[in-house]
Amino acid sequence: MIALLAGMSISGCTSKFEDINTDPNTTTEVTPEMLAEGQILWLFTEFESEAEYYMQPYFTNHHIAWLGGDTGSETYNYLGDIDFRRQFSFEYAYKMLNLQKMIDACPEDDEETINAYTGVSHFIRAWRFFNMSMSVGDMPYSEALKGEDEVFDVPYDTQKDIMIGVLEELDEANELFENASDFDGDPVYGGDVTKWQKATNTLELRILLNLYKKTSDTDLNVISRFKDIVSNRPLMESNDDNFELVRSDATGQKYPYYKDNNNVIDRDMVTSTVVDSLKSFNDYRLFYFCDMTTAAADAGASETSWDSYKGIEQSLTNAEVTAAYQAGEVSGINLRYQELPEGEPTYLLSYAEQNFIIAEAIVRGFISGDAESYYQAGIRAAMKFTADVTPDNSDYHHNMKITDDYINSYLASDKIAFASTSEEQIKQIIVQKYLQGFLQSNYLGFFEYRRTGYPEFIINQATNSNDPADQMPVRWTYPENEYSYNRANVLEAVSSQYDGVDDSNGIMWILK
């Protein structure tokens, strides 16, 4: 066949291979909007090929328990290396190479368009490098993404230098969006650079709050940066500013837990960490997150009864989980997650979280202000989100509807009243942030638990796959490929951070 094609070329045939194999209805030119759409969608959809992969962060967050297998090792306390079902994986970092190509594809004389796509590039880089570093500690950053230049022996940056770098990238993104035009190829904000600017600043506030133990470090300037953002930059103003992907019934756009592509519907259960917290607050989100237990439904119990819903303690043995499930004593996930192809929008940053961040920052003394007002605004935004994205169907709220009047009464209740001590206030803020992140925000729940100890996860030494069994793991290990292709640098990083031991118990710089 090769000889035949060669002969045709030599004979002067006017038909060329490129002409025959080019779709006249499809562009062959790579445009910035095409690359932007892929990069932005990738933040949300990388591991949505199966519902099981989508749910992995929510096992780790203690939102969901899983029926079958070794409960301890497969869900709540096994991390493995960073490439194990991880959105923040080294394995997929190479895809960020398209960010520079996206910028290079912009018209050279259109500065505002270049600014927009460059701002998006800085946001995505900051998002990914921050989360990868939060998973392992030190890693390649300043010299990363040079594989096309055949640079494989990549030195590691310290976690501190990575944090300085991503903060500077977000500062630059804020300025770029300030001087940019709206752009094409954005499935989240429709190219609205003002909304991108708000999300950029919210992400920077999240990072700065994670640096709360480093406020004395003048290289970071945590408090002054935080004050400047809150005082002088655009921030999210409502749930309309959430950094979220809205789903639809179209092919390839459905909610990742929708039943058509879900092999774990009958295996996932809501944890007691979630259910018991909601019950303790008389929080109607219980009826939006959960279904009645089978035992309660079979007994004809009321769907509006709090006793009709029960969570499962995630650290129980598989035999104990199976027994509770077979007895019908565990609540599954609300039907709306599997029956609605559009599900609910999935967000990575939210207005509710932003309010909780600012509330905690006030309690910690970063800025002055009324922490309780931000705490309440976060709760209100979280409840409004759940109510607004849920169809008015009794199967989806069990006739316990979240209304404005209910939210007002909830905020006025003694159970929600802001505590008098700073530690109790922080606990309240983090628990509410945890609840607003149910099946949202990836690993935020785990990172917040690791940072603050809230909510309090039970450690069961009989099922804990970590060693020692009385501790929760706190980090992912470096991927095996690093030991194969970048061995000297990864070994140096493990030595300098973790006394030469690359396991899940090493305390990274940001946590010290």
Furthest-apart CA pair in the chain: how many Å? 89
**Residue 49, pLDDT score:** 72
C-alpha span between 71 and 172 (Å, rounded): 44
Cα 385 to chain centroid distance, Å, stands at 17
C-alpha span between 437 and 386 (Å, rounded): 11
Cis peptide leading into residue 234 (ω within 30°): no
The alpha-helical segments, DSSP class H, found in 211-246 are 222-232
The residue extents of the domains of the chain are 32-258+340-452
End-to-end CA distance of the chain: 65
Dihedral Cα 214, 215, 221, 225, nearest 10 deg: 110
Amino acid (one-letter) located at 73? S
**Residue 491, pLDDT score:** 98
- Element of type H or E holding 236: none
**Residue 75, pLDDT score:** 56
C-alpha span between 53 and 263 (Å, rounded): 10
Fold held by 32-258+340-452 = 1.25.40
437: nearest Cα among 396, 474, 386 = 386
pLDDT tens track, the chain, 512 positions: 222 223 333 333 333 333 433 344 445 578 999 999 999 999 998 877 778 888 889 989 999 998 875 544 445 678 889 987 677 888 778 789 999 999 999 999 999 999 999 999 999 999 999 999 999 999 999 999 876 666 668 999 999 999 999 999 999 999 999 999 999 999 999 999 999 999 999 999 999 999 999 999 999 999 999 999 999 999 999 999 999 999 999 998 999 999 998 888 888 899 999 999 999 999 999 999 999 999 999 999 999 999 999 999 988 988 899 999 999 999 999 999 999 999 999 999 999 999 999 999 999 999 999 999 999 999 999 999 999 999 999 999 999 999 999 999 999 999 999 999 999 999 999 999 999 999 999 999 999 999 999 999 999 998 888 889 999 999 999 999 999 989 999 999 999 999 999 999 999 999 99
DSSP letter assigned to residue 245: E
User: Rounded to the nearest 5°, which phi and psi values hold at 183?
Assistant: -135, 165
- pTM score of the predicted model: 0.93
- Following DSSP, what letter does each residue of 342-356 receive, concatenated? T---EEEE-HHHHHH
